[in-house]
Amino acid sequence: MDPQTVKWVENRSSEIRDPESGADETMNQILVIAALCLLISPGTLGQTAGIKQKPVTSGSIEKAIEKLVDEYAEAAKKGDVAFFETNLARDYIGIEADGHMSTKPEVIELYRSGQAKFGTLEVKDRKARVYGNIAVVISELTMRGHSGRAELNGTYRSTQVLEKRQDGHWQSVSSQLTKLQ
């Protein structure tokens, strides 16, 4: 029992000994409270506050994900439409550096039409975190080129979210680019 309950029981013990004070009723109240304390306490022993899910720490998975991010950059430099058809999820949404959103069909059309071209696209400072079948990769990109009408020249921070599909293949479900000042 917690200290407050013990003190309450001690204070009420004099009522139990006094037959004129309704000892039967007081005794019943004490027994109910004691039973509740015994039932509640064990249930709270296994609870811990503030525990967050930790990423899976298998270095080989993170390295494979980081390699896949490098492959995205190579595919973008080459204009490899087939790569994007395979590696962007059906419901992919990208948030471009200028803030507009693009879908998988829009990205594929940009590369197919030649409207997305990069002379330089380097991935640096990659950090992958894996949470079950979801991976989040944050990296720094140095780019020189364009995507549609948007010029992409400079250094950008990229966040990419990948999902491991049932067949074990990782696909990008979302990405965001932010230009660094």
CATH 3.40.50.880 fits 59-179, yes or no: no
Per-residue pLDDT of the chain (181 residues; tens, 9 = 90+): 556 555 655 655 554 455 555 555 555 555 445 444 444 444 444 444 444 444 445 588 999 999 999 999 999 999 999 999 999 999 999 999 889 999 999 999 999 999 999 999 999 989 999 999 999 999 999 999 988 877 889 999 999 999 999 999 999 999 999 999 7
Domain extents for the chain? 3-45, 59-179
Work out whether the CA dihedral 150, 142, 117, 103 comes out positive or negative: negative
